Amino acid sequence: MIRLGLALLAAAFLAAAPAAAQTVLTIGVRSEAASLDPHWTQLSADLQVQEHIFEHLVDLDPASQPVPGLAVSWQPLDATTWEFRLRPGVTWHDGAPFTADDVIFSFDRLAAGIAGAPASPAFTLAKGGKRWVKIDDLTVHVLTNGPYPTVAEDLAMVPIVAAHVARGVTPSVDFNSGKAAVGTGPFMFEEFSPGNRISVVRNPNWWGGDPGWDRVVFRPVGQDAARLAALLNGDVDIIDYPPTVDLPQLEANPDFRVSTIPSDRLIYVILGNKSREPFVTDNAGNVLFPSPLRDWRVRKAMSLAIDRNAIRDRIMGGASEPTRNIVPPGFFGYVDDLQPDAFNPDEARRLLAAAGYPDGFRVTFQGPNDRYINDARIVETIAQMWTRVGIRTEVDTMPRNIFFSELIRGGPETFPGFDMPKFSVALTGWGTVAGEATYTVSGILETYNAATGGGNGNFGRYSNVLIDALSIRAKQTIDRTERLALLQQATRLGMEDYAFIPIHFQVNKWAMKASLEHTPRTNERTLAWEVRRVR
């Protein structure tokens, strides 16, 4: 019933507008959104579509800095209480008023757990022991167990849903059908046709004003060449992840325009820390005990065997920045003197021999083949580099939906509250939220702890008590200078211990018709209101 009402409202709005005034933006996306339930996953492909419909208390600007969203302001009242003042006059797509009750319901829904959700943002509410209370219709207090400086940044990850619509619905399913896809955002749900398109229409009552387009269509085109062809043929107006090999020709073509910005997306290799890793064997195929990946010398050898400059120049077409950091330059927590490991295969062989593996060993290197820029090619290239120093590497790449399911909780020992990743060595990525390293140190360096949300992205299950102590202190330190020192010390410890192997930060690029201009984002998302027609 809700879906029908919104569809009729959208149809009436478009019919009432003059035909010449109707504008449609078609976006060709590499990765298809799987769910419109904003509490279901944390994958960027899902989030960028969801953010057209649903909003957060705290938004992020193109440089990933926090700005007002559904909350107009926030401030700490004392060491354990943050006050959020909500934006007055906001309505849901069906006309109902937005209030603090919706915020409380959204937080409660996440905290209770979303049945079947592969990777919901619930962990960000658990961090700091957050609790919440309604003060009045436009005021919410968030309470923590102690001083917690990044409450606003955490809440930038928590979408707000309508209590009167989302209560009792079937997670994901009722959002994908449109029944529960009622938000406060600049666009309203129109259609979700898996494998074909997702379309949204302008919300005439959006508090932020005119988003610039009457209708927006997201068309999934997974193959890079096909996505570029769709742009060249005029089937889409803008594409994400244009093929790196074609960027020089696109940039020289007056009929098209390329926008670019350094990314917050770290591409790195996780290394499993179990005593026995199922995909690490001797040269005869027997699982090694203890796993060589637990030896610092082996981890360093694997890093030194990687030629990051060659990956940048030959695979990425220059669209990457080799790194040994966990956040990009300019982000809070970046360590200036942590430089990428120089390619040194001779030293890699020496370290392997010193660790007791002069003849090397075997690994299977897993990764996605449709998520990150040139991901499968990067996996194949690194596998060849490792093989040359004696680590004979077999490649196993797969579609992202399969990969992330196995990466997060695919191991045989997995049970609720103790997910066990399946892979021993895998390529993955991590985007830093809100332009600072607190979330990243906590997410990928801290020891995994389902109860606190620590290590929620630590899929190698690396553990270092010194890093844990620094991370926990950083999350409780209000003073920015002190917090910066803690984050940098934790980063340095993790990188010197090779908790994982950083490869590069992606450089985000979009290609579009010359009649458009676009504000690029460090977090990779393509937002329709940031695409404008050139006048």
Check pLDDT > 60 for residue 16.
Answer: no
Check pLDDT > 90 for residue 277.
Answer: yes
Map out the domains of the chain as residue ranges. 2-220, 263-507
Check pLDDT > 80 for residue 382.
Answer: yes
pLDDT of residue 226: 97
Q: Check: CB of residue 218 under 8 Å from CB of residue 197.
A: yes
Question: Do you know the residue count of the chain?
Answer: 535
pLDDT of residue 42: 84
Check pLDDT > 60 for residue 163.
Answer: yes
The mean per-residue pLDDT over the stretch 493-500 comes to 98
Q: Say which amino acid occupies 176.
A: N
The listed CATH number (2.40.10.120, 3.40.190.10, 3.30.465.10, 3.40.50.410) that belongs to domain 2-220? 3.40.190.10
Q: CA 484 to CA 473: how far, in whole Å?
A: 11
Check pLDDT > 60 for residue 21.
Answer: no
In a 3-state reduction of DSSP, which class is residue 204? coil
Q: Above pLDDT 90, what percent of the chain? A: 81
pLDDT of residue 271: 98
Check pLDDT > 50 for residue 52.
Answer: yes
Q: CA 109 to CA 174: how far, in whole Å?
A: 15
pLDDT of residue 140: 98
Cα-trace Rg, the chain: 23
CA angle 348, 351, 356 (to 5 degrees): 130
Tokens read off for 411:
């191991």
Helices (H), 233-344: 247-252, 296-304, 308-310
Strands of the sheet containing 71-78, edge to edge, are: 71-78, 81-86, 139-143, 131-136
Give 262's pLDDT tier (boundaries 50, 70, 90): confident
pLDDT of residue 307: 98
The mean per-residue pLDDT over the stretch 56-60 comes to 96
Give the bridge partners for 215, in sequence order: 24, 201
The mean per-residue pLDDT over the stretch 84-108 comes to 98
Q: CA 527 to CA 37: how far, in whole Å?
A: 18
Q: Check: CB of residue 334 under 8 Å from CB of residue 249.
A: no
Q: Check: CB of residue 45 under 8 Å from CB of residue 29.
A: yes
Residue that wins the pLDDT comparison between 418 and 311: 311
Q: In the block, which residue shows the tokens 């981890």?
A: 299
Is the link from the previous residue into 18 a cis peptide, with omega within 30 of 0? no
Average pLDDT taken over every residue of the chain:
92
pLDDT of residue 19: 42
Residue that wins the pLDDT comparison between 118 and 443: 443
Q: Say which amino acid occupies 177.
A: S
Q: CA 434 to CA 332: how far, in whole Å?
A: 9
Check pLDDT > 70 for residue 15.
Answer: no
Give 108's pLDDT tier (boundaries 50, 70, 90): very high
Rounded to an integer, what is the distance from CA 188 to the centroid of its chain?
23
Query: Nearest Cα to 494, choosing from 358, 373, 339, 324?
Result: 324
Q: What is the pLDDT of residues 110-147, one digit of tens each?
A: 999 888 887 788 888 888 889 999 999 999 999 999 99
Q: CA 341 to CA 362: how far, in whole Å?
A: 23
22-26, 64-68, 229-233: which is most confident:
229-233
The mean per-residue pLDDT over the stretch 421-433 comes to 93
Strand ranges, E, within 184-273: 187-193, 197-202, 215-220, 238-240, 256-271
Give 405's pLDDT tier (boundaries 50, 70, 90): confident
Q: Say which amino acid occupies 495.
A: M
Q: Check: CB of residue 302 under 8 Å from CB of residue 501.
A: yes
The mean per-residue pLDDT over the stretch 222-229 comes to 94
pLDDT of residue 5: 43
The mean per-residue pLDDT over the stretch 380-403 comes to 96
Q: CA 393 to CA 386: how far, in whole Å?
A: 7
Which helix (H) or strand (E) covers residue 366, if one does? strand 361-368
Give 415's pLDDT tier (boundaries 50, 70, 90): low
pTM of the model: 0.80
pLDDT of residue 444: 96
Helices (H), 64-182: 100-112, 123-126, 151-155, 163-166, 173-176
Check pLDDT > 70 for residue 13.
Answer: no
| Fold topology of 263-507 | Dipeptide-binding Protein; domain 3 (3.10.105)
pLDDT of residue 1: 32
